[in-house]
């Protein structure tokens, strides 16, 4: 009865079973595990958190770190920054957890104009829909790492600036795809009815049918388990029946407003890096415990790693 050895994050050595992969391996990563690839990565393949585009959400259970993607939703990102600067979410709550779909937070009284929390200064009550952007905004010069792997949801996928991206070259459009951990801005029936006050994060199978229907604004870098591991709500669409079932939000701060001593010492792997390309190949061609490799990944089956900032080299004493 040995415990199941399913290892998601580690890719072992290639076994001889993989002698005939679907397509030729594209990198030298295939003799290395994901851990070895990460350990061998040069410092230049990593970047720090962007103070103007990082949110720190404090819950009683820990901290969630969210990275905004202004290239996909500039107006929403600006509003979300202003909301965080104004302390809008402080004391508000997680209102909804719908299984295999989304966790959502905002103002419990948001639907009641008399009781709704006022918007801080500098926040726009109304924003345009930002469901997609011109493709050239995530084009080659903008660091778009195109995946060779096909899928049915979009003609093209890849990663840009650490975000999972789908694109339609014929239509000249690109968008931040609804993968696990991606954050979006809730809207009502009108396409321009979101303003960033109510946000959701994908917690189940990628609901790619939402792509191009709603504005996606970023992704969770760390702490997803604090949002995904919550009891599901019993009312329609996963809203909680009773106020006491909600999870309170202590505060959400913009990293730029956080004292240096309280900033998370975290780095994010650059999706333009050779390390990321190697990691994707290690996922396509598995080893160790795996006896079969798909020779394939999809844009939602790989997430971009973070790591603690390594200690600076010490001068000799």
Stretch that binds its own copies, among 28-36, 63-71, 91-99, 270-278 (CB under 8 A): 91-99
Residue 168: strand pairing partners = 173
Contact status: 300 vs its own copies (CB under 8 A): yes
Q: Which CB, 37 or 255, lies closer to its own copies?
A: 37
Contact status: 224 vs its own copies (CB under 8 A): yes
* Subset of residues 230 to 249 that bind its own copies, contact rule: CB under 8 A: 230-232, 237, 239
Within 8 A by CB and 6+ apart from 192, the residues are 126, 127, 128, 129
Using CA atoms, how far residue 19 sits from 196, 279, 294, in Å, is 49, 19, 13
Contact status: 291 vs its own copies (CB under 8 A): yes
CB 181 within 8 A of CB 166: no
Contact status: 192 vs its own copies (CB under 8 A): no
Among 292, 311, 313, 317, binds its own copies (CB under 8 A): 292
Contact status: 168 vs its own copies (CB under 8 A): no
Contact status: 228 vs its own copies (CB under 8 A): yes
Q: Which CB, 185 or 255, lies closer to its own copies?
A: 185
Tokens describing residue 106 = 């905002």
Residue 186, SS3 per DSSP: coil
Stretch that binds its own copies, among 24-32, 202-210, 246-254, 263-271 (CB under 8 A): 202-210
Query: With the C-alpha atoms ordered 251, 257, 259, 260, is the resulting torsion angle positive or negative?
Result: positive
Contact status: 1 vs its own copies (CB under 8 A): yes
Task: Give me the 37-76 binding string for its own copies, x by CB under 8 A, dash otherwise.
Answer: ----------------------------------------
Query: With the C-alpha atoms ordered 152, 158, 163, 165, is the resulting torsion angle positive or negative?
Result: negative
The Cα–Cα gap between 59 and 70 comes to 25
CB 232 within 8 A of CB 42: no
């Amino acid at each position: 009865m040995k415990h199941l050895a399913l290892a998601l994050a580690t890719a072992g050595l290639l076994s001889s079973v993989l002698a005939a992969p679907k397509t030729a391996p594209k990198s030298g990563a295939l003799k290395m595990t994901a851990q070895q690839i990460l350990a061998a990565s040069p410092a230049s393949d990593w970047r720090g958190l962007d103070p103007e585009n990082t949110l720190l959400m404090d819950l009683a259970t820990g901290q969630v770190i969210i990275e905004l993607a202004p290239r996909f939703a500039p107006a929403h990102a600006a509003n979300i920054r202003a909301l965080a600067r104004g302390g809008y979410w402080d004391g508000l709550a997680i209102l909804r957890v719908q299984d295999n779909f989304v966790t959502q937070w905002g103002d419990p009284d948001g639907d009641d104009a008399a009781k709704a929390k006022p918007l801080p200064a500098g926040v726009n009550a109304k924003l345009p829909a930002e469901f997609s952007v011109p493709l050239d905004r995530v084009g080659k010069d903008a660091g778009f790492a195109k995946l060779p792997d096909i899928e049915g949801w979009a003609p093209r996928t890849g990663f840009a600036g650490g975000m999972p991206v789908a694109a339609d070259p014929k239509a000249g459009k690109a968008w931040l795809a609804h993968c696990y951990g991606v954050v979006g801005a809730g809207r009502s029936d009108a396409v321009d009815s979101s303003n960033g006050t109510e946000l959701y994060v994908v917690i189940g199978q990628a609901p790619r049918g939402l792509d191009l229907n709603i504005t996606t604004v970023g992704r969770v870098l760390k702490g997803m388990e604090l949002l995904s591991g919550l009891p599901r709500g019993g009312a329609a669409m996963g809203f909680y029946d009773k106020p006491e079932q909600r999870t309170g939000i202590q505060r959400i701060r913009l990293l730029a407003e956080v004292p240096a001593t309280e900033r998370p010492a975290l780095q994010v792997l650059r999706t333009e890096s050779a390390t990321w390309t190697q990691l994707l190949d290690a996922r396509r061609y598995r080893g160790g415990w795996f006896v079969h490799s798909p020779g394939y990944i999809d844009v939602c089956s790989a997430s971009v790693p973070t790591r603690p900032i390594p200690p600076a080299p010490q001068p000799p004493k």
